[in-house]
Amino acid sequence: MDQELQNKSYEELGKELLDLRKEQFNLRMQLGTGQLTRVHQFKVNRKNIARVKTLMNQKSSEKGA
């Protein structure tokens, strides 16, 4: 996943972050209603959000420099 994220533009990363946030919300709703069977997805999703944010910060510093 890291390699394909690195090839994306800043705007594409922003959309990816939005998608991951929506997925995180859906996971929380599934947990609340007792429908969540893949509890490990919380950790995976949180790490993916961190990856995208890190790449966005790197790209924004490259733009400014």
Q: What is the tens place of the pLDDT at every residue in 10-64?
A: 999 999 999 999 999 999 999 999 998 888 999 999 999 999 999 999 988 887 6
* 8-state DSSP, 35: -
Assigned token pair, 17: 């972050």
| CA–CA gap between residue 63 and residue 20 (Å, rounded) | 24
Residue 34's φ and ψ, nearest 5 degrees, are 80, 15
Helices of type H across the chain: 2-6, 10-33, 41-64
| CA–CA gap between residue 27 and residue 35 (Å, rounded) | 9
Instruction: State pTM to two decimals.
Output: 0.87
Assigned token pair, 43: 């950790």
